[in-house]
Structure 1
Amino acid sequence: MAAKASVSPPDGGVSSAFRILKAAASGLPDVVESTSYGTPALKVGKKLMARVKDADTVVLICPLDEKEMLLEVAPEIYFETDHYRGWPAVLVRIHAIPADELSHRIEQAWTRQAPRKLVAARQASQAR
């Protein structure tokens, strides 16, 4: 019997990473699907929260101090390349991060990027 040839998805597996990213952002208000640098992205309004870099990596908006902490405590999940050094974004190994942690990180990015009125409205509705 002949071995089946491995066939990569036409998008190089990016759609799988984007599905994971979208699931992590479900329930957050005003999140829109978009693109950034030619790859699928999630934005709140026009502000980037996260984007797919490749089939195994997503880019999350993250303050520099938090990024340094994540790189130190979980290098098996978070990393950076020279391109992202000094920028408020961290690279994430999408298949290594637990779903609840990814959801938390996406929510943190949403809170930083969303308009203040939207953040306040969400906080008020959660307090009820």
Structure 2
Amino acid sequence: MNWQAVFDFAASLPGAERTTHYGGPATKANGYPVVTSAREEGSFCLHIDRDTVEMLKETDPATFWQTPHYAGWPAVLVRYASDDPERVWATIEQAHDAALARKPKRPRKGT
């Protein structure tokens, strides 16, 4: 697993779009980020609710983790070298579905 595989998978989901988030590559659904690139080598950022973040960190800390930068935010870092890639793919789908279920983001003024 690598960034290109994650990016392509997330972008292939219904209603997903390839875009940017804070200047880096990302996929979004309904205007909300799903996966974004991460500064931390060997990982990408998955945008998912805080309860799920905590559950993922508790059940598989070797795959799902956070730096202080992400603590308290609805986002978790995911290591590409996961022992359970099927769970990673399923979690990306879960984050995507949750983004689609949210009220669409309104465009910012001037864009």
In which range does the TM-score fall when normalised by the shorter chain? 0.7 to 0.9
Unaligned runs of 5+ in 1: 1-15, 118-128
| 1:85 alignment partner, SS class | coil
- The offset of 1:89, in angstroms, is 0.7
CA-based RMSD: 2.2
Output the TM-score relative to the length of structure 1.
Answer: 0.68
For the Cα contact (< 8 Å) 2:10–2:35, is it kept in 1? no
- The offset of 1:19, in angstroms, is 1.3
Match of 1:113 in 2: 99
Looking at secondary structure, tell me which structure has more helix per residue.
1
Of structures 1 and 2, the one scoring higher in RCO (CA 8 A, sep 6+) is 2
Matched, 1:100 2:95: no
For the Cα contact (< 8 Å) 1:59–1:91, is it kept in 2? yes
Please tell me whether Structure 1 or Structure 2 has the larger radius of gyration of its CA atoms: 1
Output the TM-score relative to the length of structure 2.
Answer: 0.78
Count of residues paired in the alignment: 102
User: Residues 67 and 91 from structure 1, CA distance in 2 versus in 1: closer, same or farther, beyond 3 angstroms?
Assistant: same
| 1:91 alignment partner, SS class | strand
Match of 1:47 in 2: 32
Match of 1:77 in 2: 63
Provide the rounded CA distance (Å) in 2 between the counterparts of 1:98 and 1:23: 19
